[in-house]
Chains A and B, each alone.
Chain A
């Protein structure tokens, strides 16, 4: 076991980790931040996406030790301290961009990374960017719509309620 320390959602957090401890295990089991999920073991579903030093990564495919000293953001840090949802979270609720909620943390974190790089993505760009985030419930329609809305774009072009 080695002690590792990282900044998680703005707070310094430390804990013991083995060499093999994955970042997602450290977040969930050691720090109790269970909002980040594990949906596969081949690095494809994206339920585990968090930001490390401002970049979206799959926390199931990164060792906790690799994040020693890093600045980590998770779904738990996205809303304001008073609980007010951020623009992406609010758009997901407004446009029904989630159903069972399991892929949602990863979707929100990927969406945040996308909008940072590309503040006004097209529908095609959003769909392409979500290549590594699998949702089994929504058919993606309302996720795409929510991300467009969060970027301040008109979502009338995307049909349905």
Chain B
């Protein structure tokens, strides 16, 4: 039984109070006296040469403070890319410049050309409409395979082609995999698309720049998942501002899902412009603008082949993927289809040979980067779809085919053929749990009941593994990362015993203010209400890599644990002095330091007071004060896994898919706050259902975004999803971080799309339709069209 507010307790979230009463502090809620408003003129064509920009009429308009074009940023660097991928021939990827404002060419609808800074937002927009831009349209590059053809129009004239890189992994296995597939007993092949998604956190991006001439200091308030990373990238690579003169604040942030990781041009713009106009500059994205300026996600076109022997054991996997980079390389874009994708292609299985080829391609579309799951959903989707197809081809129960090929509990730690080593796992346990929770044994009777009502019922299973808490820094550095992937925390104990924890992780919905406090409360044994979690401000936390890749508790939490351990060690020294006992005999329990085997004790608050009022204190051997910082760099990824089951009903008249039930049995290792973990799974699953059934990003042949608002981009609504059944009782704790945690933020979005699609295919096949694949989103019209063919 967990203690109230400790590890394992479903402690209610403290951050809820401000959100529920309307006093949260989101970036758009920040208004600074004298602020101006920025409005971006964005390209309305996908590809073109800018012949001229005439701002003269606009400059004369009411309220215009200044108009900026690329010429104003001649001294600035481009928006940097944070990961350099090396191709399978040992060459670095092609890396085009990504200017703050378009230089000479526009490369996607939404590419910023000029910015008006004006007294009001409406005046800025009025003036934007008065800027005359002469653009000579060029043929847009949209289809990835066409883009790689000889003589194709180039997105970037200074590159040799539209190929960013041709990556092979593991390159040494290429021929062995080919051979294994050639000689296999059975090979299942599947060609599929992983649909491009728009992350759409409910809070659109906002940036407010401020500059003080008094001390030459800049402040950027921004909707970011990692303010320190923005400070580093923008300060060092774009604007040339040293860190001590640049403060980046990410206050309450209304969701991110990856799209707020990246350093965006608008952030650099408002920061720079604030100095030029010597007034604060605010930019607030509309939703329509977000659709053409926030990084998109996914967008892979893949062919996967799965080989097996006569005993149905997987012998090899070969996969070829075209990954859309969009027009420029967003911050982590190159790493997503490679290191976050190829390394997962072993899945939960003992497949001995895997080869992954990825061709990353530039197109005249919005840049593509990580979106919840980032590479791992793309890996899981193709693997779990092809396994399902294989099971049908050989007439085997899909659950049993998986089980037959699972890595077994006694095989951990398990070295995969794709570089990563799984530390722990028990895939049979999560599969058993999911089958039990969904009453798999009685599915046939439910299917019969649906059939009696004229509906087609289907059962879809997917198992997944992900790699979270990306690290260690020295390894990712070898793989091309241009940043470290540690996390830092400072634990400041105040004189009366309350604690402020400064973490480099950033909470934008994940509830860190509650869960992180629970960990410290458990470690020290003081009430959780005495602990505050501070995040999101570079002026408070020493350094941070931020929140993405389900890394917060595994990496940021570990840093906090390490700092807290330092605190406890020092406090024990103080306690041993106060208790006149050997330090080795001091025990900390429930906020009391006691001497083992005696009734002598001193309270936490007395020790902390002694640290700051060191009258009776070992000054000769110990500094006063009680504040410690730790940097934690993990030795490995963490590997959450789980089994997901979706049960659907297809309406054969309309093709509409109704999700009747969705069950997630996850292994997240140890769990700090079960309520919050369940909430993370719910949200991830809903996004996965969105990808599977509803969401799609569609460009027309001219490169115009047809799904540019919620009118055409189908966001999941409450009526589109069922109540979920989630379980995280199967726990194989991580062996290499102090909390034994694995991370839970992305799992739902990774495991759910194949479960949904597998269920739809199952329903159709049970209904007698010869349909073995439908690309996502499995919309009513696509299902109906497939039924006409099948």
Report yes or no: B253 in contact with A100, Cβ–Cβ below 8 A: yes
- For window 594-642 of B, CB contacts with A under 8 Å fall at none
Interface residues of B (CB under 8 A from A): 10, 12-13, 15-24, 26, 28-29, 31, 122, 200-204, 252-255, 257, 286-288, 508-511, 674-679, 682-687, 709-711, 715-719, 721, 723-726, 748
Given known contacts A100-B203, A140-B718, what 15 new A-B pairs fall within 8 Å (CB)?
A: A35-B23, A36-B22, A99-B510, A100-B253, A101-B19, A134-B710, A134-B717, A136-B683, A138-B679, A138-B682, A143-B718, A145-B723, A159-B725, A160-B723, A161-B674
- 8 closest A-B pairs by beta carbon, nearest first, are A35-B22, A101-B19, A102-B254, A139-B686, A100-B509, A99-B509, A139-B682, A75-B22
Task: Please give, as numbers and ranges, the residues of chain B lying within 8 Å of A96 by CB-CB distance.
Answer: 12-13, 675-676, 678-679
Interface residues of A (CB under 8 A from B): 20, 28-29, 33-42, 44-45, 47, 74-76, 78-79, 83, 85, 89, 92-94, 96, 98-105, 108, 123, 126-128, 130-131, 133-145, 158-161
Identify B683's interface contact among A37, A78, A139, CB under 8 A: A139
Report yes or no: A76 in contact with B22, Cβ–Cβ below 8 A: yes
Report yes or no: B20 in contact with A92, Cβ–Cβ below 8 A: yes
Report yes or no: B12 in contact with A33, Cβ–Cβ below 8 A: no
The answer to whether residues A160 and B687 also contact, given A100-B202, A101-B16, A102-B202 and a CB cut-off of 8 A, is no
Per the bound structure, the CA–CA distance linking A126 and B685 in Å amounts to: 20
Per the bound structure, the CA–CA distance linking A121 and B790 in Å amounts to: 41
Q: How far is the CB of B188 from chain A (nearest CB, A)?
A: 32
The answer to whether residues A137 and B509 also contact, given A45-B202, A89-B21 and a CB cut-off of 8 A, is yes
The answer to whether residues A131 and B718 also contact, given A39-B204, A136-B257, A160-B725 and a CB cut-off of 8 A, is yes
Q: How far is the CB of B183 from chain A (nearest CB, A)?
A: 45
Identify B682's interface contact among A41, A47, A141, CB under 8 A: A141
Report yes or no: A136 in contact with B715, Cβ–Cβ below 8 A: yes
Per the bound structure, the CA–CA distance linking A53 and B200 in Å amounts to: 32
Can you name the residue of chain B whose Cβ is closest to the Cβ of A123? B723
Per the bound structure, the CA–CA distance linking A142 and B287 in Å amounts to: 25
Identify B724's interface contact among A102, A133, A159, CB under 8 A: A159
Per the bound structure, the CA–CA distance linking A13 and B635 in Å amounts to: 58
A-B residue pairs in contact (CB < 8 Å), sample of 8: A93-B13, A94-B12, A96-B13, A102-B26, A105-B22, A131-B718, A133-B718, A138-B682
Report yes or no: B255 in contact with A98, Cβ–Cβ below 8 A: no
Across chains A and B, the number of contacting residue pairs, with CB separation under 8 Å, is 199
Per the bound structure, the CA–CA distance linking A82 and B100 in Å amounts to: 48
Report yes or no: B24 in contact with A35, Cβ–Cβ below 8 A: yes
Task: Please give, as numbers and ranges, the residues of chain B lying within 8 Å of A137 by CB-CB distance.
Answer: 202, 255, 509, 679, 683
Report yes or no: A75 in contact with B21, Cβ–Cβ below 8 A: yes
Report yes or no: A100 in contact with B201, Cβ–Cβ below 8 A: yes
Report yes or no: B201 in contact with A141, Cβ–Cβ below 8 A: no
Task: Please give, as numbers and ranges, the residues of chain A lying within 8 Å of B675 by CB-CB distance.
Answer: 96, 161
Task: Please give, as numbers and ranges, the residues of chain A lying within 8 Å of B510 by CB-CB distance.
Answer: 99
Identify A101's interface contact among B31, B254, B723, B725, CB under 8 A: B254
Report yes or no: B254 in contact with A100, Cβ–Cβ below 8 A: yes
Report yes or no: B710 in contact with A42, Cβ–Cβ below 8 A: yes
Identify A102's interface contact among B23, B255, B683, B748, CB under 8 A: B255
Q: In the complex, which of the residues A34, A78, A101, A102 has the most CB atoms of chain B within 10 Å of its own CB atom? A: A101
Q: In the complex, which of the residues A85, A104, A137 has the most CB atoms of chain B within 10 Å of its own CB atom? A: A137
Q: In the complex, which of the residues A39, A44, A141 has the most CB atoms of chain B within 10 Å of its own CB atom? A: A141
Task: Please give, as numbers and ranges, the residues of chain A lying within 8 Å of B20 by CB-CB distance.
Answer: 75, 78-79, 85, 89, 92-93, 98, 101, 104, 108
Task: Please give, as numbers and ranges, the residues of chain A lying within 8 Å of B204 by CB-CB distance.
Answer: 38-39
Report yes or no: A99 in contact with B511, Cβ–Cβ below 8 A: yes
Can you name the residue of chain B whose Cβ is closest to the Cβ of A141? B682
Q: How far is the CB of B691 from chain A (nearest CB, A)?
A: 13
Per the bound structure, the CA–CA distance linking A135 and B687 in Å amounts to: 10
Q: How far is the CB of B198 from chain A (nearest CB, A)?
A: 11
Report yes or no: B22 in contact with A134, Cβ–Cβ below 8 A: no
Task: Please give, as numbers and ranges, the residues of chain A lying within 8 Å of B26 by CB-CB distance.
Answer: 34, 37, 102
Report yes or no: A44 in contact with B719, Cβ–Cβ below 8 A: no
Can you name the residue of chain B whose Cβ is closest to the Cβ of A158? B723
Can you name the residue of chain B whose Cβ is closest to the Cβ of A108? B20
Q: How far is the CB of B509 from chain A (nearest CB, A)?
A: 3
Can you name the residue of chain A whose Cβ is closest to the Cβ of B709? A42
Task: Please give, as numbers and ranges, the residues of chain A lying within 8 Å of B682 by CB-CB distance.
Answer: 138-142, 160
The answer to whether residues A98 and B726 also contact, given A136-B687, A140-B686 and a CB cut-off of 8 A, is no
Report yes or no: A130 in contact with B718, Cβ–Cβ below 8 A: yes
Report yes or no: B718 in contact with A99, Cβ–Cβ below 8 A: no
Task: Please give, as numbers and ranges, the residues of chain B lying within 8 Å of A130 by CB-CB distance.
Answer: 717-719
Per the bound structure, the CA–CA distance linking A160 and B288 in Å amounts to: 36
Task: Please give, as numbers and ranges, the residues of chain B lying within 8 Å of A100 by CB-CB distance.
Answer: 19, 201-203, 252-255, 508-509
Task: Please give, as numbers and ranges, the residues of chain A lying within 8 Å of B748 by CB-CB distance.
Answer: 139
Report yes or no: A93 in contact with B16, Cβ–Cβ below 8 A: yes
Task: Please give, as numbers and ranges, the residues of chain A lying within 8 Å of B674 by CB-CB distance.
Answer: 161
Task: Please give, as numbers and ranges, the residues of chain A lying within 8 Å of B684 by CB-CB distance.
Answer: 139
Can you name the residue of chain B whose Cβ is closest to the Cβ of A105? B22
Identify A128's interface contact among B200, B253, B715, B719, CB under 8 A: B719
